[in-house]
Amino acid sequence: MNWIKKSQQEINDKIFLALTHNVNYQKESIIGVPATYLDEKVFTKDKFTMSDTPFLSTLLQNPNHIGCHTLGSSESFFAGTQAIEREVISICAEDILKGTIDQFDGYIASGGTEANMQAIWMYRNYFQSKFKAKYSEIAVICSTDSHYSMAKGANILNISIYKVDVDFETREISRDSVLKAIRQAKSEGINYFVVVANMMTTMFGSVDSIEVYVDAVQEENVEFKLHIDAAFGGFYYPFSKGENNLINFQNPIISSITLDAHKMAQAPYGTGIFLARKNLIHYTTTQEASYVEGEDCTLVGSRSGANAIAIWMILSTYGPNGWSEKIFILQKRTDYLCDQLRALKVQFYRHASSNIVTMKEQYISKEIATKFGLIPDNHHDPKWYKIVVMDHVTLEKLNPFLEKLKEQLKDKMYVD
C-alpha cells in the first residue's frame, strides 16, 4: 500500500530530503544543464523559502521532470523529486485504480487534455508499429459528451474521430449507437480503434458503460485499445462508487487512464496524470531526444517537478480514509441539492455517483446563470446548465441559489 496519511512534519521532511538529492546550482559545478532556479531578482528566496513551505521551495528550486520516470533512467539532476513523482504514479495506479504493483508507467502531465492526447498518440503509434496500419485506417471513437481533447488529439495526430450518440435524458450510450458509429467507420476504411470511455464527463458527470463499447467492437471484430478519460472522475468516482467500481485496472481490457489533479484534488492548474500498462508508453519515445538522459516519451517534454510535489502533499495529507470522507461529504451535499430541485420540480440529470448536477435550460434564467456562475453546455445555444459541488460549494452557497430559483419558478408558474 503506497497511500498512507502523513503528518505535516513527515511531509515537509520527505520533500526537503528529496530536494537535497536534486542538483544544487549554487554549490555544484553544473554548467551544461539549460535550467536554473527561478529568477532570484523576482522570486527572492529569503521572502519565500521557509522550513514549512515545501511546495514553494520546490517551485524556487525549479526541478525539470522531463521524460517518464517509471522507465529506466531519467535526468539524474532531479532524482530526488522524480522519486516522489513515481510514488504519485503508484498511488494513483495501484491504490486508487487497483492495478498490480509495478505494472504501470505514467507521468504528471499538464492536464487532462495532454494526458488524453498522450493516450491517442500512444495507440496510434502502437497500431502503426504492430499492424503496419496507415493513419487513414486509425480512428478515435467516443461519445458526443466526451471532452474536446479527443477531437483535438485526432486533429493533431491526423486520424479520424467518430462520435457515439447519447440519450438526451440519460446521457447513456447504447449498443446500437456504438455499432452504428463503428460500422460507419469501417465503411470508410477504419480498421483500428482508440476507444475512449468516460468516467464522469465534464458537463454531466455521466459514466460510460465499458461493456457496451467492448461488446460492440468485439462483435465487429476490429482491433482496439481502451482508454478511460477520468480527468474529472478519477479522484471522485472510485470513492463514491466504492467496491462496486469496475472501471479500474482490475479490468484487463483497460490499458490507460487519465486523471486530472487540478480538478477534484485541488492541485495547482497544469497538473494532470497519465497512466498506462507496462510495454505501451515506449511507442511514443522520441529517440531524437538523445541529449535527454533516458530520452523522452511524453507529449509535453519539460515540466515542473513542483506539480508532482503538490499532488503528493495533497494525497499524503488526507490519506485514503480522509479522502473517502471528503468525497462522502460532497456526495451528501449533492444529494441535498438534488432533493431540493425535485421539490421544485426542476428537471435535471445527475449520475448517482457524481457531484455534477445539470439542469435543463428552461428552468434557468440568464440572470441566475450569471449571478451564480452556472456553466452551459453550449454558450451559443444552451440546453443545459451545470452545478459542480466542489469543496467551496457549501449549503451557504447552494441555499441562496435555490431561493432565487424558487422565486423565478413561481413567477413563471412552474410551481404552485
SS (H, E, C) 229-263: EECCHHHCHHHHHHHHCCCCCCCCCEEEEEEECCC
| Model pLDDT, residue 182 | 97
Band of residue 398 on the pLDDT scale cut at 50, 70, 90: very high
| Residue 29 CB neighbours (<10 A) | 6
- For 365, the domain range is 319-411
Can you tell me the distance from the alpha carbon of 192 to that of 354, in angstroms, rounded to the nearest whole number?
A: 32
Residue 416 has pLDDT above 60, yes or no: no
pLDDT of residue 178 exceeding 70: yes
Residue 13 has a pLDDT of 93
Is the same domain home to 49 and 86? Answer: no
β-partners of residue 214 are none
pLDDT digits (tens, 9 = 90+) for 306-343: 999 999 999 999 999 999 999 999 999 999 999 999 99
Q: Which of 205, 208, 162 is nearest to 331 (CA)?
A: 205
Q: Where are the beta strands (DSSP E) in 11-109?
A: 104-109
Kindly state whether residue 405 falls inside one of the protein's structural domains. yes
User: Would you say residue 413 has pLDDT above 70?
Assistant: no
Structure confidence by residue, pLDDT tens digits, 137-165: 999 999 999 999 999 999 999 999 999 99
Please indicate, yes or no, whether residues 299 and 324 belong to a single structural domain of this protein: no
Q: Is the pLDDT of residue 87 over 80?
A: yes
For residue 260, give the H/E element and its range: strand 254-260
pLDDT band of residue 50 (cuts 50, 70, 90) is low
Spatial distance between the Cα atoms of 43 and 27, rounded to a whole number of angstroms: 19
Q: Is there a domain that residue 69 lies in?
A: no
**What is the CATH classification number for the domain harbouring 105?**
3.40.640.10
Determine the pLDDT at residue 74. 83
pLDDT tens digit sequence for 183-196: 999 999 999 999 99
Is the same domain home to 205 and 118?
Answer: yes
In terms of domains, do 370 and 324 share one? yes
| Same domain (yes/no): 216, 339 | no
Tell me what the mean pLDDT of segment 236-258 comes to.
96
Three-class secondary structure of residue 11 per DSSP: helix
* Cross-strand partners of 375: 386
Same domain (yes/no): 255, 400: no
Is 23 within a domain? yes
Within this chain, do residues 160 and 100 fall inside the same structural domain, yes or no?
Answer: yes
Does residue 313 fall inside a structural domain? Answer: no
**Grid cell 446521457 in the structure block, residue:** 171
In a domain, 241, yes or no: yes
